[in-house]
Amino acid sequence: MFCVKAEVEETLKRIQSQKGVQAIIIVNAEGIPVKTTLDNSSTVQYAGLIHQLVMKARSTVRDIDPQNDLTFLRVRSKKNEIMIAPDKDYFLIVIQNPTE
Amino acid sequence: MEIVYVYTKKRSEFGRQCNFSDKPAELHVDILPDPSLTDNFIDRDPCDVAIQCTQEMSEHEVNTERFDCEPCGINHVEGGWPKDVNSQEMEQTIRYRKKVEKDENYVNTLMQLGSHMEHCIRQNNTIDIYQEYFEEEEIVEEMEGQPSAKTVNVFRDPNEVKRTATSLSWHPDGSCKLAVAYSSMEFQKVTKDMSYDSYIWDLENTNKPEMTLKPVSPLVCLEYNPKDSHILIGGSYNGQIAYWDTRKGSQPVEMSAVEHSHRDPVYKVIWLQSKTGTDSFSASTDGQVLWWDIRKMSEPTERLVLDPSKKGNLDNALGAFSLEFETTMPTKFMVGTEQGVVVSCNRKAKTPAEKIVCTYSGHYGPIYALQRNPFFPKNFLTVADWTARIWSEDIRDSSIMWTKYHMAYLSDGCWSPARPSVFFTVKMDGTLDIWDFLFKQNDPTLSLKVCDEALYSLRVQDNGRFLGCGSQLGTATLLEISSGLCTLQKNEKALATAMFERETKREKILEACHREMRLKERSRSEQSKEDEAKDGEAEESAEELVACAEREFYEVVEAEMKKRGKDDKKEKEKYERKLGKTVSNENIFMFTDYLNTSSQEF
């Protein structure tokens, strides 16, 4: 258990060390932020809003083609890019500033 | 026609059942068409027939079971926590989180998601998909090769007897109207049938003016109120000021009292910047500048006599020809005088002596136009005699830039409101000159002959693109200039600033040199003060100077006449030799005329 958890830690650390990465948030299916590198209030805000967005995006993809499914969601804004990797039970959210 | 069918039945057979039997068809009645009936009818032509080609539908109503809806909001503080975990308690949440992290599903999912995410992050870092390739290149506007101006419209004085268009004023919003003041500026040329009216023209309609203004005496100058576009103020030939409200008709709403007005034609009237928007001031060649509040025109609110000796002496006063007022500098104003001197004044001075701050001299004739550069208020343009000059406020003795002496008198000029280095002048030979001193200093950039008669007034519209000029025969011409002359070029402001500074510096240096020379001379003359005679000579009185000048003049004239006489004799001898006979003295006058004309031609 310990070493497996270490792998998770290592992955996250690797992601964090990439250029421009500002924050990482892991949210579960109920919208609870499990792990985060941001402060609590921002995390909660992101978790709540992004959860809804992912649900909507997924339903959109599946409505168009029921065989299809959402694999990745990228929201590019003026200041940064929010990347969301959705799964059945958890989301991995990374906020990156790509033009740095 | 009645249709009757008769049948008979025996009484005993009444009530018996009917026996039906077949019979072939029989024609009972045949009614043929009667064409004469058509006379009772007429053909309906056209026929209105409504046809609808739609789906036929029917409407049904059905009553369903009621469904209750209630709008309510949800306050999300933090979502999804299971019931046993209190989200406020740190300990409980941490414990919950740790539990989740130990879940195997969590680990697997995260590994997978993590690798995917890393790929995307790296992608972002490698290439910026939204990179602007040609960001720095701005769209360079093509400068049309040649600056040009073309006449758009011509507004002629509708009266029989033509008067000069002495002043133009653009409507403040949108500039779709032009107010032109007409008067005859020539001495005693006013005839009985010369009308006094001035007109407001709509730019689209050149046949008839949109509105007529009927003053008591012809208007020399006219201005729209920049704050209220319905109000115009005009200065008239007899010295009175009148103001009109275009909503109230052609007669002036109020006129100033004759006793308190100017004693000479009012050459310029300008609206002032004030809270009420009703203040204005006027200048005239009687040497006074008067301030007016249009709500009370019976007497001016303030009076200034342009006496350079600052004593308020009206006899000494300089006649004012043009006024200048810049709204960004509300306490200062400048007056251009008949004597060629520009007087700079301070409105807020306590004593009349302090009102006149300084004078700028350098012109030989009345200053017809005076305007500050809208971009560089420290520099101003004066148009007088045969030149246009640009001055800097700091240098009093001479202008910093000037045009060459033209063949015709310059009658009006103004800066372009769009470009700091462009200004316009009009001349008495009917030409309009557009000067761009960043492009060419010696000659105008564009010189256009607008009309054959003299041009008297000029006004540029606020966008710098249209300008109106008024001529001696009352024709107001509307011109449009090419966009190159009315759009701000790159670096123009910087270049113009550099040029103004350079010229100002040059003048300052020249002034300093002159001062030094004068000081040296004075010190030298002081050294030789023991020679009293020389000193007396230096202080010649005005009469002696005049007498001396007269003497010199006559000497020169006599010398010239003697020379002419000798030339005449020579010509006479030559002619005699040619003709072979003596020529009488009358023919000598012909010769002298010929000599005169030939000498003028050079």
Residue matched to tokens 């000037």: B402
Q: Which of B8-17, B27-36, B166-175, B574-583 has the lowest mean pLDDT?
A: B574-583
Q: Which one of B76, B86, B106 makes the best mutation probe of the A interface by having the most chain A beta carbons within 10 Å?
A: B106
- Are A5 and B101 in contact (CB < 8 Å)? yes
Evaluate if residue B591 carries a pLDDT over 70: no
CB B426 within 8 A of CB B458: yes
Nearest to B110 among A14, A83, A92 (CB): A92
CA distances to B351, B391, B507 from B514, in Å: 33, 18, 10
d(CA B75, CA A52): 15
Q: A48 at the B interface (CB within 8 A)?
A: yes
Distance (Å) from the C-alpha of residue A19 to the closest C-alpha of chain B?
7
pLDDT tens profile B149-173: 888 888 888 888 888 888 888 888 8
A92: distance to nearest CA of chain B, Å? 7
Quick one: B64 exposed, middle or buried, by C-beta within 10 A (0-12, 13-18, 19+)?
exposed
Whole-angstrom Cα distance, residue B204 to residue B507? 47
Question: Which residues of chain A neighbour B104 with C-beta distances below 8 Å?
Answer: 4
The interaxial angle of helices B104-126 and B90-102, nearest 10 deg, is 90
Q: Which residue of A has its CA nearest to B81?
A: A32
Element (H, E) at B168: strand B164-170
Chain A residues 57-86 with CB within 8 Å of chain B: 71-72, 74, 76, 81, 83, 85
- Spell out a b/e string for B447-459, using b for 16 or more CB atoms within 10 Å of the CB, else e: ebebbebbbbbbb
pLDDT tens, position by position, B366-395 = 888 888 888 888 888 888 888 888 888 888
Other Cβ atoms within 10 Å of A68 Cβ, number: 12
3-state secondary structure of B463: coil
Helix (H), strand (E) counts: chain A: 2, 5
The answer to whether the Cβ–Cβ distance between A5 and B124 falls below 8 Å is no
Reported as a single tens digit per residue, the pLDDT across B212-253 is 888 888 888 888 888 888 888 888 888 888 888 888 888 888
Which distant-in-sequence residues (6+ apart) come within 8 Å of B232 by Cβ?
B169, B179, B200, B213, B222, B223, B224, B225, B243, B244, B246
The structure tokens 């009093």 sit at B396
Choose from B90, B109, B112, B132 for mutation: most chain A CBs within 10 A: B109
Q: Which residue of B has its CA nearest to A40?
A: B78
Residues of A in contact with B76 (CB under 8 A): 48
The length of chain B, given as a count of residues: 602
CA distance B500 to B372: 13
Instruction: Report the C-alpha gap between A43 and A27 in whole angstroms.
Output: 9
User: Going by C-beta distance under 8 Å and a sequence separation of 6 or more, which residues neighbour residue B567?
Assistant: B595
Q: How far apart are CA B269 and CA B399, in angstroms?
A: 25
Q: Do B125 and A19 touch (CB under 8 A)?
A: yes
The shortest CB-CB distance from B121 to any of A15, A47, A99 is to A15
Size of interface A-B (CB pairs under 8 A): 101
- Please write the tens of the pLDDT for every residue from B427-475: 888 889 988 888 888 888 888 888 888 888 888 888 888 888 998 888 8
What backbone phi and psi angles, to 5 degrees, belong to B341? -110, 140
Dist CA A97 CA B257 (whole Å): 76
Asked if pLDDT for residue B593 goes beyond 70, the answer is no
Closest chain B CA to residue A14:
B118
The helix-helix angle for B90-102 and A2-17 (nearest 10°) equals 100
Contact A30 B80 (CB under 8 A): yes
- Binned at pLDDT 50, 70 and 90, residue B67 comes out as confident
CB atoms B79 and A4 under 8 Å: no
Name the residue facing B78 among A26, A44, A99 (closest C-beta). A44
Mean predicted lDDT score pLDDT of chain B: 81
Report residue B54: phi and psi, to 5°.
Answer: -130, 170
Q: For position B602, what pLDDT does the model report? A: 39
- Dihedral of CA atoms B493, B499, B500, B503 in degrees, nearest 10, equals 180
Q: Is A32 on the interface with B (CB under 8 A)?
A: yes
What pLDDT digit, counting tens, does each position of B540-566 carry? Answer: 567 788 888 888 888 888 888 888 887
So what's the pLDDT on residue B601? 44
Q: How far apart are CA A31 and CA A49, in angstroms?
A: 9
**Minimal Cα–Cα distance from A100 to chain B, Å?**
9
Q: Which among A28, A72, A90 has CB closest to B120?
A: A72
Lowest-confidence range among B71-75, B202-206, B346-350, B552-556? Answer: B71-75
Which of A62, A84, A66, A88 is closest to A75 using CA atoms?
A: A84
Q: pLDDT tens digits for B463-502?
A: 888 888 998 888 888 888 888 787 887 788 888 888 888 8
Question: Looking at the predicted structure, is the pLDDT value of residue B65 above 80?
Answer: yes
User: Is the pLDDT at B598 greater than 50, yes or no?
Assistant: no
If you write DSSP's letter for every residue of B409-423 in order, what string do you get? -EEEEEE-SS-TTEE
List, for chain A, all residue ranges whose pLDDT scores fall below the cut of 50. Answer: 1
Q: Cα distance from A54 to chain B (closest Cα, Å)?
A: 15
Residue B253, amino acid:
V
Nearest by CB to B79, from A31, A35, A90: name it. A31
What pLDDT was estimated at residue B530? 53
Return the H-helix or E-strand segment holding B95. Answer: helix B90-102
The answer to whether B425 touches B447, Cβ cutoff 8 Å, is no
For residue B310, what are the contacts with CB-CB under 8 A and spacing of at least 6? Answer: B352, B353, B356
Instruction: State how far the Cα of B19 lies from the Cα of B442, in Å rounded to an integer.
Output: 131
Q: Is a pLDDT exceeding 50 seen at residue B538?
A: no
0.80 exceeded by the pTM? no
Whether residue A35 and residue B101 make contact (CB cut-off 8 A), yes or no, is: yes
